[in-house]
Structure formats: structure tokens, C-alpha cells
Structure 1
């Protein structure tokens, strides 16, 4: 089976459909607390974001932690990234950019922190893509991976109202125990592998969906937020994300 669930044209179309990409990234950006704990606790100086165009986390790490940051992706439209940097009062030279196919690239250097957010679920061979991440981690460094949890209510929503997008994801990899076992097999110490977030649902290009779908999504979103505000907990059924943190010996 082909390992890729997407191709370059998919990502060209995906990013060309987006507007408002050049945003001012806040200090409380998603996963900010987890990243801060890693950076401060492990004295991180260098980091690479894999598959992260236009580079939101690379910008976040440079802007708030002053790390030496690299962005690697096989689709990088430089003007978009430059506009994002400008919106966050950074220079083009503040982030190193490597535009390459991760599957035909041997890391030239290793990093204190290797992260990807929403990458590994687009490949069929989960162990292979995680091990490609691990190749970038220096001894003593940290691997931090996040991905959506489409085994939760959010997944039902995607499958029901955006099946094309849902089918671009490897649902079987959305399993904290599986992710932890792959890292352990590779010799890493797993710090955490768990469901994250109390509740959320979303749709790609929501404004293009029928009004009835948008209204239903808003109703479910509000009900879920109210419920988990009263009963806050992480779970397979409701949490929108999975996070994996592991350390190389």
C-alpha cells in the first residue's frame, strides 16, 4: 500500500484555498504550555518543525522562546511564510527553511526539539513516519508530535460532513498506546502519550458548507463546550487531539 494519503497537489490546493494565513500568533497558542515545559525543562536551544508550512509553530518558537528554528516541508510558498514572519515582527532570516521530501532526505544535523502538528496521520505507515522524526532528534533531545483524534466525536463530524477530508487521514494511527509502543521500540523514553483537550469540533473550509451543516456544527460545538466546562476531562470520545512526547537517550 502506498504510504502517502496525500500528494503535493493536495497540499497546493489546500493552502491555496486558505485565506488569512498571516496571523499574529499569541503567547497562548495551542500546546504552548506543553512546549514551554519541554523548552525550559530540557534547556532547548534548537528546534525543527516537520511538515509545518506555513510555519506557525516555527514562528511561535522563535517569537516567544528565541530558539534556533528550522521549518521543513515539501511544499513551501515563501511569500506566505515571509508574510507570516512579518505579521509576527520577525525577519526572513529568523527561520531556516528546507523545502524537501522527507522520504528522500537525510538529516544534516539533529535538534534538541523535533515537532510536528498534524503530519503523521497523513501516512499509512505510522512507525516509518515516526522513525523519520526520530532521525532528527539529537541524543537527549525531545520528540513532540500532535495529531487530531478522529476517533472522537470530531471524527464522526468529519466523516459525516467532510468525507473527502476524513479519508485523507489514517484513523488507525490515532491511538496513544500505538504511538507510545513505536517510540519504545525505537529506544525512546515515552514521557506522555495521551488524549488532549476537553472538546472541540471543526470543518475545513467551513464557510463553503451548507448553512444547515454550519448551524448544526455550531450547536454541537456550544453544547460540547458547555458540558466539558462543567465536567472537564480528556477522553477518547471527546478530546480533539492526541499528544506524544518522548525523549532520546
Structure 2
């Protein structure tokens, strides 16, 4: 894939989504600590317009819960693209479960023929860090946006100063995770550079999200035990709304396309 070379492949994502269950979009807007800050952030930038025909697309849309959320909460027509067949099927089922018509395209993002300058919202969560050259992936996001459309991208915080990176190191899986994640973009300055000189007006950028120990422990354990889950929730509630290079679970950008 040249400059767009990915750090993962289709088999990786098929295994990731294999055996996953249908979810419910309401979890995104619930009081679960891991989602609450994300919900508040979106409320700051998105509004529901009655009668407006607006399209939102998620790049890397396996499961599709965010698409259901954008449709239910803000009235967007949901589109998604993913190259995991199992992930695409899960997204279609979740849209159907929510009573929504949507379009899920099962294809390689860079080989697809998605219409340029056609979407009011382009979103991805945990996608660009899986590429060697994430800037090219950001360009793909931007070219799909209409003038004035919104770009929202989130990535996990495995920056060198984060507790999650340190935990990965201590439990011996830092090297394993680095094979599939581009750690180099997980500092605020490096993350910001990805969006400069791309015809975007940055509305908000930085660290977000409460403590979420799943970032470090879930890849190794695979199953979250109830006591751990409860402890994680409590820590999450205690750090809601804080923006911390060390503790925040992710980085986010919200930007508007200029032309």
C-alpha cells in the first residue's frame, strides 16, 4: 500500500470482530465513564436539525454503534466503510436493530469509490493510528467532506508519558502493541501536525476522556472481570472532564473543512 501501508491487515480485524455481540448505541450517551466525555464533546459541536438531510460516514465502521448514535442523536443519514466482512455484517445488524436504513460498504478505504465532497460529517475512532503514514489517511477523511463539513477523529493515548504506555511496558506487551499502533502520533504536538495545511479549521484538539485501564489491560486479558470493571468505572468517574497527557484515555480533533 506504499505510503499508506497499514500496520494491520484484514485477518487482524476479522479476528478482532469475530464473536463480537450486537450492542446498543445508548451506551455512548449513557453515564458510563468511558463514554461520557465523548458524548459531551459531540454535543458541543453537533446539533440536531429537523428536516435537514445530512450524511455522516464512519471510516472503519465495524459494529456501527457510533453510526447509530449519530443518526439517533443528531439526525444524520448513516454511512460506513470497513474491510472486515464480519465487522460490516455487525454494523448492518446494529443499524437494522435500531430501525435505521444506512449504507455499509465492505471495501478497502483506499480502493473504494466513495463520492468526494459528499459528507457533512466524517468520523473515525481508533483508525489512523493503525497506519504507517496517518497523514495520508487524514487526507482521505478531508476529501470526503463537503465545504463546511465536520471532521472528528479520535485515537487512544499511548503517548510515552501516559500511564497506559507505562502499563504496557510493565506487563510486557509494549512491543506487541507497537506492531499494530503508530505510537509516534500519540503526543498532542505530533497529532496536531496531521491536520495542518489540509484545508481544515481546527475547532478543538487535545487530550480527552477519563482514566480507562482497558487500554492497557484488555489486550492481554481479553476478558474484563467484574471487580476490575467496577474499579475502572470508579476511577473513570473521578477523572471525568480532566484533560491530561498522563491520564486521559484518548486524543481528539474536531475540525471544519474550509473549502
| Structure 1 counterpart SS, 2:151 | strand
Counterpart of 1:9 in structure 2 is 11
Q: 2:194 aligns with which of 177, 182, 191?
A: 182
Q: 2:44 aligns with which of 33, 37, 46?
A: 37
Asked if the contact 2:14/2:85 (under 8 Å) is kept, the reply is no
Asked if the contact 1:51/1:119 (under 8 Å) is kept, the reply is yes
Q: Deviations over 1:145-190 (max 9, x none)?
A: 0010012112222344444344311011112222322322112111
C-alpha distance in structure 1 between counterparts of 2:44 and 2:127, whole Å: 22
The aligned runs of 1:93-132 (5 Å cut-off) are 94-109=101-116, 110-132=118-140
Asked if the contact 2:61/2:91 (under 8 Å) is kept, the reply is no
The aligned runs of 1:72-221 (5 Å cut-off) are 72-77=81-86, 78-88=88-98, 90-91=99-100, 94-109=101-116, 110-151=118-159, 152-161=162-171, 162-163=173-174, 164-202=176-214, 203-204=217-218, 208=222, 221=232
Q: Which runs of 5+ in 1 are unaligned?
A: none
The Cα of 1:224 is off from its aligned counterpart by 4.4
1:233 aligned onto 2:242: yes
| Structure 2 counterpart SS, 1:102 | coil
C-alpha distance in structure 2 between counterparts of 1:44 and 1:117, whole Å: 23
Q: CA, structure 1 residues 101+222, in 2 after alignment: closer, same or farther (shift >3 Å)?
A: closer
Q: Which runs of 5+ in 2 are unaligned?
A: none
Q: Which moved more, 1:34-43 or 1:75-84?
A: 34-43
Asked if the contact 2:157/2:186 (under 8 Å) is kept, the reply is yes
TM-score by length of 1: 0.82
C-alpha distance in structure 1 between counterparts of 2:202 and 2:154, whole Å: 14
**Coordinate RMSD, CA, aligned:** 3.0
Asked if the contact 1:123/1:170 (under 8 Å) is kept, the reply is yes
Q: Which moved more, 1:238-247 or 1:28-37?
A: 28-37
